[in-house]
Amino acid sequence: MRIVIAEDLLLLRDGLVRMLTDTGHTVVAAVDNAPDLEKAVEQHQPDLSIVDVRLPPGFRDEGLRAALAIRARTPTAPVLILSQYVERVYAAELLADGRGAVGYLLKDRVTALDEFLDVIDRVAAGGTAMDPEVIRQLFARNNRDQGIGTLTSREREVLALVAQGLSNSAICAQLVLAPPSVEKHITNILTKLDLPPADESHRRVRAVLAYLNH
């Protein structure tokens, strides 16, 4: 996989380059600011961009804004956002177009190598991946909201795993459920969140977005 990295911390940037190279990927560019990120993506057309939310010059949300600009030009461009903290608005903005091929991961998760490599594979393949801690905190905040509040405890578990980007078969394995049970839970979730039939992958992203927006 050909990857562009945008991270201003030298140690983390070099660590990501080394980790990805050692696991068979090719880092075509590693930059430390948002303008260089956009130039690198335009030049190399990578399979995935890994982007820190906060980049120079302002260290606010320049990385996210650059990622959204990249997606505006190429809507299917896969982007994985790295963040130090859980920031619901950023996660929701990233998912807003409903197209998938996006992820939002806390930086602490990068050290879990197998988990991190699984996330980049899922996002590059067009899926979504939300950090489990993001999901945990958002469920705690949104527990009483209409729609979300009508979900059963099992349905909330399933939605949390959908938000992490897991497939139905992976959810079956995680929760030790039969495929028809998982399919029924997902159907119930989409019905309770009032999401009409559409392309299945987009519908799952919209379910997560509806949840984030509560």
Contact partners, residue 50, CB within 8 Å, separation at least 6:
3, 4, 5, 6, 7, 16, 80, 82, 120
Which tens digit of pLDDT belongs to each residue from 109-165? Answer: 888 889 899 999 999 998 888 887 776 665 555 544 556 778 888 888 888 888 777
Which tens digit of pLDDT belongs to each residue from 47-84? Answer: 999 999 989 888 888 998 999 999 989 988 999 999 88
Q: What is the mean pLDDT of residues 17-34?
A: 96
Query: 12 falls in which pLDDT band (50, 70, 90)?
Result: very high
Query: 6 falls in which pLDDT band (50, 70, 90)?
Result: very high
Q: In what order do the strands lie in the sheet with 79-83?
A: 26-31, 2-6, 48-52, 79-83, 102-106, 128-130
Global pTM reads: 0.72
Degrees to nearest 5, angle at CA 20 with 14 and 26 = 100
Sign of CA dihedral 206, 207, 212, 213: positive
Sign of CA dihedral 89, 114, 39, 76: negative
- E strand intervals along the chain: 2-6, 26-31, 48-52, 79-83, 102-106, 128-130
Cβ distance 63 to 9 under 8 Å? no
3-state secondary structure of 86: coil
Using the 8-state DSSP alphabet, how is residue 60 labeled? S
What domains sit in the chain, N to C, each tagged with a CATH number? Answer: 2-130 (3.40.50.2300), 135-213 (3.40.50.2300)
52: left (phi over 0), alpha (psi -120 to 50) or beta: beta
d(Cα 90, Cα 19) in Å, to the nearest integer? 26
Q: What are phi and psi of 52, to 5 degrees?
A: -75, 140
CA 173 vs. chain centroid, Å, equals 21
Whole-number pLDDT of residue 98 = 67
d(Cα 130, Cα 166) in Å, to the nearest integer? 10
Whole-number pLDDT of residue 51 = 96
